[in-house]
Each structure stands twice: as C-alpha cells, then as structure tokens.
C-alpha cells in the first residue's frame, strides 16, 4: 500500500527521539495499527523507517516548559509517575489527589480534574492541577515546571 502524506507536526521527545504527525493528502490512513512499521520515502533514494504509535487514543503528552522536555503519558499512567520514572524530582504527598502537595501550574492544554481538593470554579480555571491523579483532556499539556 502506498499513501502520500504531508508532515503536519514534529514534537521532540528527547535529544534522540521525535514524534511525527502526518496527514494523508488524499483518502484516509486505513489498515494500519500501532506497532506497524512504515517506510517514509523522502526522495533521492532516502528512506526512513518508523513504527506507528497511537497516543491520541492511548494517552497524551506532557511538556515541561522550563526545559522543553516532552514525555508520553499512557492512559493508565499518572503524570507524577511518568516524571518520577524519568528521574525528575517532583514533590508529592498522598498520590491520591487529596493533599495538594503535587499541585502544578499549567500553561496550556485541557485538564481532566480527578482530585478532591480543587473547587469546581478552580477546576474550570484550568490554571493548575494535581499531577498525581488528574489527566489530560487535550492531547498535550504544558506544565510550568
């Protein structure tokens, strides 16, 4: 199967890893699933090989504004857990959304608040979140960290 597509977004995940988002120029991407391998023909006999991911359906991304680091967050992972898994020092207490010690300012994105601390008005403001339990409604959150 051959499809023609254009690159619509590139996100640096680390110094050596990037995520690419493509859009088909005609038709739809069908018959492909996460984990499938694709060859991207860049012309002049230059071919790059990639594995497909589906983070829009399976999770999202969190960006740390202070350093530009972007990390994938799976649907069953907490942002706190992902940050700690990557060796980042993050303050937290109960890890249940009840103490507020992991409260983090948010710069961009939409939050699915799951904490027991913020009032409905504070949650609607989308200015900060408990990263131990709250999740992203948008594909990407940018945190003031």
Q: Are 87 and 99 found together in one domain?
A: yes
pLDDT at 13 over 70: no
Identify the domain containing residue 106 by its residue range.
Answer: 57-143
Asked if residue 134 lies in contact with residue 117, where contact means CB atoms within 8 angstroms, the answer is: no
Q: The domain that contains 62 carries what CATH number? A: 3.10.20.30
- Range 130-135 average pLDDT: 90
- Range 39-48 average pLDDT: 82
Q: Are 120 and 97 found together in one domain?
A: yes
Q: Are 68 and 116 found together in one domain?
A: yes
Which residues, in sequence order, are CB contacts of 113 under 8 Å at separation 6+?
A: 123, 129, 130, 134
**Residue 71 confidence class, pLDDT cut points 50, 70, 90:** confident
pLDDT in tens, 79-92: 999 899 888 888 89
The three-class DSSP label of residue 81 is: helix
| pLDDT at residue number 5 | 78
**Residue 29 confidence class, pLDDT cut points 50, 70, 90:** low
Residue with token string 């989308």? 126
**Residue 54 confidence class, pLDDT cut points 50, 70, 90:** low
Q: Are 45 and 100 found together in one domain?
A: no
> Where is pLDDT greater, at 32 or 141?
141
Number of domains in the chain: 2
């Amino acid at each position: 199967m051959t499809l023609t597509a254009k690159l619509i977004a590139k996100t640096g995940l680390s110094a050596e890893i990037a995520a690419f988002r493509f859009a088909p120029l005609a038709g739809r991407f069908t018959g492909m699933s996460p984990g499938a391998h694709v060859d991207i023909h860049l012309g002049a006999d230059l071919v790059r090989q990639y594995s497909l991911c589906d983070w829009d359906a399976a999770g999202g991304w969190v960006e740390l504004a202070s350093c530009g680091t972007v990390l994938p967050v799976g649907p069953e992972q907490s942002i706190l857990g992902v940050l700690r898994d990557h060796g980042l020092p993050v303050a937290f207490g109960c890890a249940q959304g009840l103490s507020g010690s992991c409260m983090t300012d948010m710069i961009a994105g939409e939050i699915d608040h799951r904490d027991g601390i913020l009032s409905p008005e504070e949650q609607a403001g989308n200015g900060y979140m408990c990263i131990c339990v709250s999740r992203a409604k948008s594909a990407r959150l940018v945190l003031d960290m």
